Chain A
Amino acid sequence: MNADSVTIPQVTPATDAEEERFESFADRLLRPDRERDAWSEDGRRLATGLGLAATFGATLGLRSGGAALLMHAAGVTAGVLTVPAVAVPAFAIVLALADVPVDAQALGRATSRAVAKAGLVLAGLAPAAALYVVTVEDAITVTCVGFGALVLAGALAARSFDMDLRGPLAAAPARAQTVMVVAMPAFLAFTATLALRVWWLTLPILAAGTR
């Protein structure tokens, strides 16, 4: 009783007095314009995003349990990792060949932010996915839920990547912007196909509903 009467009045003035904005985990993870932002910062962001994606993978593995948890965690992470490891370097080469003025740092930051956003969305959806994975009787529903979450996270990551690269390209010559009109959708379509193929090969739960 006493504890309540002492604690409650203290909470409101303290938060009111603190005019400075509280920095949430998501804010720290995604904010792009920080002084410390460098390759190490992008690497940290990328690793966090992959770790968050792994939690969603482990959730998918809950249906079978045991080693499936690790297998699905690795599978989801592999699909996400394929993009920065394979697709983005290829995209960087194409951009360099076309002389599009996007530096490696901007590309790295856009990639790490896209992966972090995908990881954040997948981790956020993990509890809801766990409900379906554990309680639904038919496999097709679980396949749809797992596939839907991966596609949603991928779409949001693609949107982030596209928007982050629009800034550096705003002042670019008209020719570079024309190249990007073709190159960006082609890259995003390629990335989506690549990630989906990796997930299809590495996640048994996705194929289970179609058999």
Chain B
Amino acid sequence: MTALLDVSLMSRILRSPGEVAADCRDDRGTSGIARSALLVILLGSVLFGAAVGSWHGGAQIFYGGAKLPVVTIGTLVLCAPAFYAVSAVFDRPWPARSVLALMLVAGARFSLVLLAATPAIWLTINLGASYDASKLTAALGYALAGFAALSLLVRGLGDGPGKHATLALFIGIFLLVGAQTSWMLRPYLGTPGQKEIVLFTREREGGLVYQLSKSLGNVAGCSRPAASR
């Protein structure tokens, strides 16, 4: 495990993201970086997913833990070619190997923040938070992790023309792909009012943005009462 997971690298990813990003860009030890990053992505996503699934309990814990790594790694895989192309068009024609390493390191930083958010999510749910409050807390944890990963990518892009355009495009693509991937594999918390635990929901529910805004309305108390488990 210690051979696979470089703990000092994790510390560098959190404390000195610019240095790690430069290593990826210059193709210095990228195979070791990628291996450790992948392991952390898996670990962070599995635990966060399991904590989210604890809202419903039972098999949902395993489903949540199994689905979230697929969402995270799937999104990275689908976004990598776009990141390669967009950075090349804006005068950063890096090798695909560097781009992949940079994305994995950003994913690792994302997962480390998810890992840190996991106990807070679990406690919130354990204290009896409603479906909507749990959903929003999980979305907040995900957003914080996203900002942490973004700050690494900003450093990874370095200075030069087109930095902001590259970043804006990449955020847009990542949000679109991430939203659709996670929407496809829902539910993560479980379905309110439904005793039966299902691996995937196939009902028409209006989309991710609609669901988040509905939960905001419910938490603010201007719509219907919170759903029961």
Chain A residues in contact with chain B, CB under 8 A?
A: 4, 8, 11-12, 15-16, 22, 24-27, 30-31, 117, 120-121, 123-128, 131-132, 135-137, 145, 152, 156, 160
Query: Which residues of chain A are near B82, meaning CB under 8 Å?
Result: 121, 124-125, 127-128
Indicate whether B3 reaches chain A with its CB closer than 8 angstroms.
Answer: yes
**Residue B32 at the A interface, CB < 8 A?**
yes
Query: For chain B residues 1-36, which have a beta carbon within 8 Å of chain A?
Result: 3, 27-32
Closest Cβ of chain A: how far from B169's Cβ, in Å? 7
Closest-CB distance, B179 to chain A (whole angstroms): 10
| B interface, CB within 8 angstroms of A | 3, 27-32, 77-79, 81-86, 88-89, 93-96, 169, 173, 176-177, 180-181, 184, 204
Chain B residue with minimal CB distance to A156?
A: B89
User: Are A26 and B93 in contact (CB-based, < 8 A)?
Assistant: yes
With A22-B95, A136-B180 as contacts: A127 and B29 at CB distance below 8 Å: no
Q: Which 5 A-B pairs have the closest CB atoms?
A: A124-B85, A26-B88, A27-B93, A26-B93, A24-B95
Contact (Cβ within 8 A) B84 A26: yes
In whole Å, how far is A141's beta carbon from the nearest beta carbon of chain B? 9
Asked whether B86 lies within 8 Å of A124 as measured between CB atoms, the reply is: yes
Provide the bound-state CA to CA distance between A82 and B42, in Å.
Answer: 46
- Give the distance to chain B from A24, nearest Cβ to Cβ, in Å: 4
In the complex, the answer to whether B81 meets A30 with C-beta atoms within 8 Å is: no
Whether the Cβ atoms of A25 and B29 lie closer than 8 Å is no
**Could you give 30 example pairs across A and B, Cβ below 8 Å?**
A11-B29, A11-B31, A11-B32, A15-B27, A15-B30, A22-B27, A22-B95, A24-B93, A26-B84, A26-B88, A26-B94, A120-B85, A120-B89, A121-B82, A121-B85, A123-B85, A124-B81, A124-B83, A124-B84, A124-B86, A125-B81, A126-B81, A127-B77, A127-B78, A127-B81, A131-B78, A131-B180, A132-B176, A135-B184, A136-B180
CB distance from B116 to the nearest CB of A (A): 29
Question: How distant is the Cα of A36 from the Cα of B116 in the complex, in angstroms?
Answer: 53
Contact A26 B184 (CB under 8 A): no
Given A22-B27, A121-B86, A124-B84, 13 extra CB contacts under 8 A: A12-B29, A15-B29, A26-B85, A27-B88, A120-B89, A121-B89, A123-B81, A124-B81, A131-B180, A131-B181, A135-B184, A152-B169, A160-B89
